[in-house]
Structure 1
Amino acid sequence: MKVTQHIENAIQQKKPTFSVEILPPTKGNNIQHIFDTLDPLVEFNPAFIDVTYHREEFVYKKHPNGLLERKSVRKRPGTVAICAAIQNHYKVDAIPHIICGGFDKEDTENALIELNFLGIDNLLVLRGDPVKSESTFMAEPNGHRYASELLEQIANLNKGKYLDDELENSSKTDFCIGVAGYPEKHFEAPNLNIDLNYLKKKVDLGAEYIVTQMFFDNKRFFDFVDKCRKIGIEVPIIPGLKPITTQSQITALPKTFHVDLPDELADELVKAKDNKEVKEIGTEWTINQSKELIENGIPLIHYYTMSKSDVVVRVLRGVM
């Protein structure tokens, strides 16, 4: 089922629902790691499960002769296979992240064909982050520099337009395409208005839903939705939430994801004695955020689990 259908069903049934995002396990672990994370969450009947994609990183290996060899390593492989396993095991829609980095257009098309064969109906299209050795994002040769370019290729496949324009009687795909939205703007955008115009371009190209970056102040989300609607973005906008669970996240999350913590939350967190107390504060804050969003008519909330389900389970018990 498509994400848009899940949202419409929740609205019609007047029963809010949720989705979660997980990370592929690091290389060397098996699929049971994923199932152990998801088993407690699936009991609450998620609408869908997102699986992130992690591009390769470059590492340098020193040889006995003193020379350095650069080697590409993907620490979290398996996104496509994990999505297939989730759908087979749980009968829940799985959504792979599709990114620009690490793929050229041919690679992308082949991956999309495989996803289509697997019966995966939904995608979340992202540019992706630069590798650690890059100061800015670098596209692959004959790849995509922007998420909008990647989205356009997928939209073309939905029209039956492949890279080889000599194909005859080519089949159309039917992907429901999602994109990311940033209530506090993407950190590379000059300002929020320019970021919103770029988001509208992606919707105009065929994006059917938006999932936001994590935020901790619901007013930021409501203001973001209002601004989107004023410039003609009418697709569903799904709020993304992440409970803060450790003292290190108090500074790491704002630094990594370029988000602000409200004064009330920050004041409580910095006074916390240990991680246990931080987790309690963060969990309760996310529960209250979720309740307010639902009271204001939001039909679906997306939770970033970081592949740890215990806190999100507590949130769901307090909300759903």
Structure 2
Amino acid sequence: MASTAFRPSRESHRPIRVSFEFFPPKTAEMEATLWSSIERLAPLQPNFVSVTYGAGGSTRERTHNTVARIVRETNLKPAAHLTCVDATKEEVNEVVRSYWDVGVRHIVALRGDPAEGVGTAYRAHPGGYARSCDLVAGIKGIGDFQVSVSAYPERHPEAPSLDVDIDALKAKVECGADRAITQFFFDNDLFFRYLDRVQARGIDIPIVPGILPVQNFKQAASFAKRTGASVPDWLAARFEGLEDDVGTRKLVAAAVAAEQVLDLLDRGVTDFHFYTMNRADLVYAICHLLGLRATPSAPMPERAAA
């Protein structure tokens, strides 16, 4: 019988907590879309919002600017993504210190993908952090940051087995990781089987499910293929024939996402991390179904001059 240690009952009255992931914009139009989404979702009072970091650090400056603006202009708690790729330890440490200086206290520590793209073997930078667990330890040595890391219910695409991948997660926990956020998945049973295996290895940090609301099925399926996430046949069938029917596709997307998160909720999950793709409406609707309601934004606190 599956373990229930990670599945508190609804009677526990634990509050539902959500977090949202955004990516830094490349154009003025994309920036307007991003900030419109942030303003739409902020009244839901997320636990934190994260901002991604491109392969090879390609979005380093845009990530930093987006995170710094969130700190300056909102009451949200930002978590900045950071990777080991194409940088020395001192270069990475300088980024960490710069985040501390602007008021960031949460970092999502990742190994990162090679700048050359998918299919290219990862090579540690000479003088850099070799693995994400080393990065976690380095961040913790610089300041009192919360550090989140990644977890893979269907194993990382480069891991030879799920057990080896869980070994990597355990190493990150031993180096100080505070929480793990999973790669997205569409089969909830996969997630719970993963939790059972993680718990059996003595890993006791929160494992937060990553949820990808399907804005566009073809794009989601392509993303899943690159990241090693499976796409069930039933999911493909739900979107079959809707390529040119945007209105119906949005309704089906909402129904699919609602089905997944409400099942997770019924099975005791109370923390959810949403990959928003910088779009707010579908995520907002799902959060409403989870019982979250918008609250007026509090006035921005006065900040000391830098």
Residue 273 of structure 1: how far off its partner (Å): 5.2
CA 1:312–1:88 in structure 2 vs 1: closer, same or farther (change >3 Å)? same
Q: 1:90 aligns with which of 74, 77, 83?
A: 74
Displacement of 1:37 in angstroms is 1.9
Check if 1:79 corresponds to 2:63: yes
Inter-partner Cα distance in structure 2 for 1:46 and 1:222: 24
| 3-state SS, counterpart of residue 126 of structure 2 | coil
Flag structure 2 segments of 5+ consecutive residues without an equivalent.
Answer: 1-10, 292-306
- Flag the structure with more relative contact order, 1 or 2, with Cα contacts below 8 A and sequence separation at least 6: 2
Q: Which has the higher strand share?
A: 1
The answer to whether residue 135 in structure 2 is matched with residue 150 in structure 1 is yes
Tell me the CA shift for residue 206 of structure 1. 0.7
Distance 2:188 2:268 in 1: 13
Q: CA RMSD in A?
A: 2.2
Name which one, 1 or 2, has greater alpha-carbon Rg: 1
* Residue range with higher mean Cα deviation, 180-189 or 118-127: 118-127
Give the secondary structure class of the aligned counterpart of 2:103: coil
Report the residue type matching 2:155 in the other structure.
K
Q: Is the 8 A contact 1:27 1:75 kept in 2?
A: no
| Equivalent residue number for residue 249 of structure 2 | 278
| Deviating more after overlay: 148-157 vs 42-51 | 148-157
Of residues 252, 271, 277, the one that matches 1:300 is 271
CA distance in 2, matches of 1:13, 1:115: 35
1:159-170 counterparts in 2 under 5 A? none
User: Residue 110 in 1 paired to residue 94 in 2?
Assistant: yes
In the alignment, the residues of structure 2 paired with residue 55 and residue 264 of structure 1 have an alpha-carbon distance, to the nearest angstrom, of: 32
**Aligned pair count?**
279
What is the match of residue 25 of structure 1? 25
Which residue number corresponds to residue 122 of structure 2?
137
Aligned 8 A contact 1:20 1:49 in 2: yes
Distance of 2:109 and 2:49 partners within structure 1: 15
TM-score normalised per structure 1: 0.80
State the identity as a percent: 29
User: What is the alpha-carbon distance in structure 2 between the residues aligned to residue 204 and residue 30 of structure 1?
Assistant: 38
Instruction: Measure how far apart 1:27 and its partner are.
Output: 5.1
Cα distance 1:268–1:28, how it changes in 2: closer, same or farther (>3 A)?
closer
Q: Quick one: structure 1 residues 75 and 233, their matched pair in 2 at CA, closer, same or farther if it must change by over 3 Å?
A: closer
User: Which residue does 1:241 correspond to in 2?
Assistant: 211
C-alpha contact 1:48 1:93 (8 A) present in aligned 2: yes
Question: Which SS does the other structure have where 1:201 is aligned?
Answer: helix
Residues 174-196 of structure 1: per-residue CA shift (max 9 Å, x gap): 01111000001000001111111
Cα offset for 1:120?
1.2
CA distance in 1, matches of 2:29, 2:130: 32
Cα distance in 2, alignment partners of residues 229 and 309 from structure 1: 33
Q: Call closer, same or farther: CA 1:55–1:261 in 2, change over 3 Å.
A: closer
Distance in 1 between the 2:87 and 2:18 partners? 31
Equivalent of residue 262 in structure 1, options 210, 215, 232: 232
Q: 2:189 aligns with which of 219, 238, 257?
A: 219
Question: Which residue in 1 is equivalent to 2:287?
Answer: 316
Aligned to 1:206: 176
Give the 3 Å change call, closer, same or farther, for CA 56–224 of structure 1 in structure 2.
Answer: closer
Q: Alpha-carbon deviations, 1:183-214, whole Å to 9, x = none?
A: 01000001111111111111011111000000
**Amino acid paired to 1:263:** D
Q: By how many angstroms is 1:291 displaced?
A: 1.2
Runs of 4+ in 1 over 4 A off after TM superposition: 27-33
- Rounded to whole Å, the distance in 2 between the matches of 1:31 and 1:268 is 32
Q: Distance in 1 between matches of 2:243 and 2:27?
A: 35
Among 107, 121, 128, the alignment partner of 2:112 is 128
**The residue matched to 1:190 in structure 2 has which SS?**
coil
Aligned to 1:34: 34
Q: TM-score under structure 2 normalisation?
A: 0.84
Instruction: State how far apart, in whole Å, the 1-side matches of 2:15 and 2:136 are.
Output: 31
Post-superposition shift, 1:19? 0.7
Alignment of 1:190 with 2:175, yes or no, is no
CA contact (8 A) 1:31 1:82 kept: no
